[in-house]
Structure 1
Amino acid sequence: MNKIQFWTCTPLVFALALAGCGTLAPTYEQPAAPVASNWPKGEAYQADSPTAQAAIDLAWRDLFVDQRLEQLLELALKENRDLRIAALNIERARALYQVQRSDLFPTISADGEGNRQRLPADLSGGRSGGATPKQYSATVGFAAYELDLFGRVRSLNEEALQRFLATEEARKSAQISLIAEVASSYLTLASDQALLELAQDTLKNQRDAYDLIKRSFDLGVASQLDLRQAQTSVEVSRADVARFTRAVAQDRNALELLVGKNIPKELLPDSNLEGAAAMVELRADIPSAVLQRRPDVESAERLLQASNARIGAARAAFFPSITLTADAGTASSSLDGLFESGSRTWSFIPRINLPIFDAGRNSANLEVAKKDQQIALAEYEKTVQGAFREVADALAARGTLDAELDAQNALVEATSESYKLSEARFKRGIDSYLNVLDSQRALYSAQQDLIAVRLARTANLVTLYKALGGGWTESDANLASGYTSGGSNNDQRG
């Protein structure tokens, strides 16, 4: 091996030999979850059904029974702009990681240079009229390549990798949230349509009652008080019809925003909330450790690992750093002699930097890195605790909403009978119309509350599914209109 090859290859071999060295980052250990190992128990919580399924292992396509909702969710996964932004953020984070990872290797480039310079006589050896020297060169080499003796570059690379993976988990979390929001908006639209139909039916009945009272009033049988009370009921129902008409229109607008495009009419729900809300029963007799599989929790842990790696880079700044610049090629004073025999040239410039005095800069950077790691740990624990509360609240709602729904159904039946009895007594002249009006209002309110409880029960199933980390499957990774370009390798290390 000649000298040029020796001096050019030695730094590369040396650098590769150091590639297996470790870093100065603390050894990472997954923090203990700051929550109980099991969900709360008590009167508010019910036992799981034998046919219930675990949300974490249940794809969203298997949760919803309504085919229209399933098609709407597929459309949203392709068209929703927030999901596109999340996917593009992954691509950006992947590119940033590749930029940081490239620092592990020397950047080799080929350079060609020509130089002509006019020198005065006193700088050219006393030549009359001065001199115009020429120089041409063609070289291949690398500049300022850092030998990663103490793992600074590898620590920064690990930080970039973990931040990239955190962004990927954030996309999964965004998808789960989108599925839950679309389903909830779909159910809300169905509920408001049911309320609108109820208000319209009530308005028709109120107008019929008003017409009857008006005829009785004209005949002198009914009092003016009865007439005005009947008119009051009509106006209340008219206001409700207008209010729920507005709500239905706004619900459609919200649903179209989530989906990302105009929704075909055949995919919109009808007022049958029971059909729209049909879902698979979920089980919760699983340990709370399942929360660590939630994408938002995994994202928080990735950021914790990134801050842990940052400490290694901050520690490495206290130690000497060595950078290498080397090139080899040819040089000549004439262009045609650039590749002739004897024109070979090379240079090798090692540079070492030893920190002596920096006025506490490195110490402060290390302290910042440690505090960032503590902040990331607190953020991770907060995320786990928030996830635990979401599940616990959803379980408490699931354990009580069935009983509330049964009670509300019974209330509707009771108020319906009360209304029929009071109406019959009024027609017989036993009671005033005020009793009829009170019974009618109680029935209308009970029917509205029944729709609201049905919505709360079905929406709670969606919330529970989201809180338990369901809704993400690898088969959905490329649904966002091509805005993702392949999955990442979670086991990749620079």
Structure 2
Amino acid sequence: MKTKTFAIIIVLSLTSCYSVKSLRKPNLDMPETYIPAMETDSACVADIDWWKFYTDSTLCSLIKSALENNRDLLNAAAKVEEVRNMYGIHRLNYLPEVSGVVGASHETNRYNGIATTKDPEYDLKMTVGWEVNLFGAMSWAQKSSLARYEATMDDYHAMRMTLVAETASAYFRLMALKNELSIVRQTLETREESLNQARIRFEGGLTSETVYQQAKVEYASTAALVPNLEKQVKVANNAITLLIGEFPNDSICPNQPTWSDHIQENVPVGISSTLLERRPDISAAEHRLAAAMADVGLSYANQFPNIRLSFTPGWENESLSHFFSSPFTYVAGNIAGTIFDFGRKKRKYKASIAVYEQARNDYEKAVINAFTEVNTAIETLRKVKESRQLKAELCEASMKYVNLAQLQYRAGSLNYIDVLDAQRRYFDAQIAVSNALRDEYLALANLYKVLGGGWSMSSENNNGNENMKKQTSGDSAVR
């Protein structure tokens, strides 16, 4: 009988393990490269720490402030602490629970007219209770809690990754707007000179009023651009202060930004199979899948009875004078379970399997989404590089066109309307180059993010501040 009983206990304790073996594993038939026929390299730009990738000292200072003060990130850190403590509770469930009672009572009884009787009692007892993890419910609960804690940590890392990219992108947009405003103001000065010259020539009878009015139109058209750009600069500036957790101020970006067109030509993207390790959002989805699997095991184990043992030593007496001469002990073992629940627990088990299927689909979707983002980011960076080069050539040609048009106008071989056309083309080309540079910086920052760069904290606390001090304000914003 002892052998049979022991065998039954072993079989029952392993039953919950079999409950998850029928669950389908994720289907991850990942491509070998992000883009077909693309050369692969083990090096990856995402392995570079963010303060080494973004070498602009102002930008690094903003990112550091965002990581320290952004309220959403601080909430994510608090959430990690909350889940960590909840996981600690499940770990402690393996230990016995100790409780105590100190009590005194004085009962009086009078039944059927009989004289009143007194029944005093004094108690000092301690109970040690322990739940036996026979069917694995506590083990599965701990696994589920651990997986959720790890998923929350991954969410925190993913938010750091996103915050670094958002701060850099907001900074690049602000730089581009200020650069565009500088171009407009420089053009406005040129338009003002042309307007003065046209007025003098008109008043001197050298040109018609049409030329003068054309110059006034060009000056007014350029001047009308300034208020809207100044508003956009203010909005972009406030977006950054919100990210870094500060009230609006205008001292976060140089007044005269300089763009560097020496952006790294070949950006290593690494081997596609390592993307799962670099992206914390994928890791979070994987840990949520593990938590859902543990919940399946937990719901299956909950169909079996709970076994609880308790031992209560202490003292109990009706008189305090002989209190410690009356020891008291109580030992109990309970098996509690549902006899008939009409299928409730079975349905909960099936519902947990459906939740697991959702988590499995979410994990597969996260992997596909990550590969899609990297594929898009690589192609976007390629095309914006091509666009920037073409627009730079257009800007150079437009500048030569303006110089030639002005020379021919002064020589009397070209109409003033042609000079205005050349100036408009050059103005538009300057804005286009500035926006193309912005788009290239944004594309590079996005590629760094989707490859999983910017969230690592391995050496930030030790080396981050020291390395940031070595950066100079003249460095380009991105390698």
Q: Distance in 1 between matches of 2:237 and 2:395?
A: 29
Q: Distance in 2 between matches of 1:458 and 1:30?
A: 39
Instruction: Single out whichever of 428-437 and 233-242 deviates more from structure 2.
Output: 428-437
Contact 1:297/1:380 (CA < 8 Å) preserved in 2?
Answer: yes
Structure 1, unpaired ranges of 5+: 1-13, 480-494
The letter for the 1-side match of 2:97 is: T
Task: Please list the CA deviations of residues 202-250 of structure 1 after superposition, one character each: whole Å capped at 9, or x if unmatched.
Answer: 1111111112222223334433333332222212211222222222222
| 1:454 to 2:437 alignment | yes
Change (3 A) 1:401 1:182: same
Instruction: Single out whichever of 273-282 and 449-458 deviates more from structure 2.
Output: 273-282
Question: Which of 278, 282, 287 is the matching residue for 2:267?
Answer: 282
Superposition map of 1:123-202 within 5 A: 127-128=114-115, 130-143=116-129, 145-202=130-187
1:68 to partner: Cα distance? 2.5
| Secondary structure at 2:231 match in 1 | helix
Contact 2:276/2:282 (CA < 8 Å) preserved in 1?
Answer: yes
| 1:119 to 2:109 alignment | yes
Change (3 A) 1:360 1:429: same
Question: Which of 406, 412, 418 is the matching residue for 1:423?
Answer: 406
Q: Distance in 2 between matches of 1:37 and 1:116?
A: 81
Superposition map of 1:436-475 within 5 A: 436-475=419-458
Structure 2, unpaired ranges of 5+: 1-5, 463-479
Q: Distance in 1 between matches of 2:264 and 2:387?
A: 19
Instruction: Single out whichever of 270-279 and 164-173 deviates more from structure 2.
Output: 270-279
Q: Distance in 2 between matches of 1:115 and 1:316?
A: 42
| Secondary structure at 2:304 match in 1 | coil
Question: Which of 28, 35, 45 is the matching residue for 1:33?
Answer: 28
Contact 1:331/1:344 (CA < 8 Å) preserved in 2?
Answer: yes
Contact 1:282/1:465 (CA < 8 Å) preserved in 2?
Answer: no
* Aligned equivalent of 1:9: none
Q: Distance in 1 between matches of 2:104 and 2:419?
A: 104
Question: Which of 346, 357, 366 is the matching residue for 2:329?
Answer: 346
* Aligned equivalent of 2:71: 81
The letter for the 1-side match of 2:158 is: S
Change (3 A) 1:116 1:224: farther
Contact 2:307/2:335 (CA < 8 Å) preserved in 1?
Answer: yes
Question: Which of 66, 80, 87 is the matching residue for 2:56?
Answer: 66
Contact 2:241/2:247 (CA < 8 Å) preserved in 1?
Answer: yes
Q: Distance in 2 between matches of 1:285 and 1:101?
A: 39
Q: Distance in 2 between matches of 1:441 and 1:319?
A: 81
Change (3 A) 1:336 1:440: farther
Figure out how many residues of one structure are paired with residues of the other and give that number: 451
Q: Distance in 2 between matches of 1:116 and 1:477?
A: 66
Contact 1:63/1:280 (CA < 8 Å) preserved in 2?
Answer: no
| Secondary structure at 2:453 match in 1 | coil
Q: Distance in 1 between matches of 2:277 and 2:303?
A: 36
Contact 1:72/1:259 (CA < 8 Å) preserved in 2?
Answer: yes
Contact 2:242/2:248 (CA < 8 Å) preserved in 1?
Answer: no
Superposition map of 1:225-244 within 5 A: 225-244=210-229
Superposition map of 1:241-390 within 5 A: 241-261=226-246, 268-269=253-254, 271-275=256-260, 282-340=267-325, 343-390=326-373
Q: Distance in 2 between matches of 1:370 and 1:133?
A: 57
Contact 2:25/2:360 (CA < 8 Å) preserved in 1?
Answer: no
The letter for the 2-side match of 1:397 is: T
Change (3 A) 1:72 1:29: farther
Q: Distance in 2 between matches of 1:113 and 1:453?
A: 80
Instruction: Single out whichever of 61-70 and 299-308 deviates more from structure 2.
Output: 61-70
Q: Distance in 2 between matches of 1:92 and 1:457?
A: 40
Change (3 A) 1:367 1:279: same
Q: Distance in 2 between matches of 1:337 and 1:228?
A: 116
| Secondary structure at 1:132 match in 2 | strand
* Aligned equivalent of 2:469: none
* Aligned equivalent of 2:472: none
Change (3 A) 1:338 1:282: farther
Instruction: Single out whichever of 397-406 and 186-195 deviates more from structure 2.
Output: 397-406
Q: Distance in 2 between matches of 1:161 and 1:402?
A: 45
| 1:99 to 2:89 alignment | yes
Task: Please list the CA deviations of residues 347-372 of structure 1 after superposition, one character each: whole Å capped at 9, or x if unmatched.
Answer: 22322234332122112111110011
| Secondary structure at 2:329 match in 1 | strand
Contact 2:237/2:252 (CA < 8 Å) preserved in 1?
Answer: no
Q: Distance in 2 between matches of 1:413 and 1:26?
A: 66
Task: Please list the CA deviations of residues 140-167 of structure 1 after superposition, one character each: whole Å capped at 9, or x if unmatched.
Answer: 1135x43221111211111111101100
The letter for the 1-side match of 2:209 is: Q
| Secondary structure at 2:321 match in 1 | helix
Contact 1:34/1:381 (CA < 8 Å) preserved in 2?
Answer: no
Superposition map of 1:399-418 within 5 A: 399-418=382-401
Q: Distance in 1 between matches of 2:43 and 2:425?
A: 39
Contact 1:273/1:455 (CA < 8 Å) preserved in 2?
Answer: no
1:460 to partner: Cα distance? 1.3
State the superposition RMSD in angstroms: 2.9
The letter for the 2-side match of 1:78 is: E
1:57 to partner: Cα distance? 2.1
1:81 to partner: Cα distance? 1.5
1:266 to partner: Cα distance? 7.4
Instruction: Single out whichever of 297-306 and 399-408 deviates more from structure 2.
Output: 399-408
